[in-house]
Amino acid sequence: MADRVMKLASERAVVVFTLSSCSMCHTMTQLMADLGVNAMVHELDREPRGKEMEAALLKMLGGGGPAVPALFVGGRLVGGTKRVMSLHLAGELVPMLKNAGALWL
C-alpha cells in the first residue's frame, strides 16, 4: 500500500492526504490555498482503500502521531502538521514549494 501512496504523492507537485472530519487536515489544506498552492487533496475516508493507505502513512511518518494530514512536496514526504508548521514559521516551506514548481512567485 505504501507504493500506492507514493504513486498518488507523485502525481502533483503538492499532495495532501487528509480525512474529511480532521480539523488539522483542513488547516493544512487551507495553508496551501493561502500560499497559492493548488494541492491535490486525497481524503482517505472517501478512498476505497483509505484505511490501508492511512496505515501506510502512519508507518512512513514513524508511527509517533496521527497519519493525517500528511504533506508531500515534489513526491517526497515532508511530514504532518507539526513539521509543516515548523517549516513555515522558519521560512523554509515557501522555498521548498517553489523548488517543486508549486509556486511561481
Q: pLDDT tens-digit profile of 51-91? A: 999 999 999 999 878 999 999 999 999 999 999 999 999 99
Q: Which domains does the chain have, with CATH numbers?
A: 1-100 (3.40.30.10)
How far, in Å, CA of 9 to CA of 14, rounded? 8
pTM score, whole prediction:
0.95
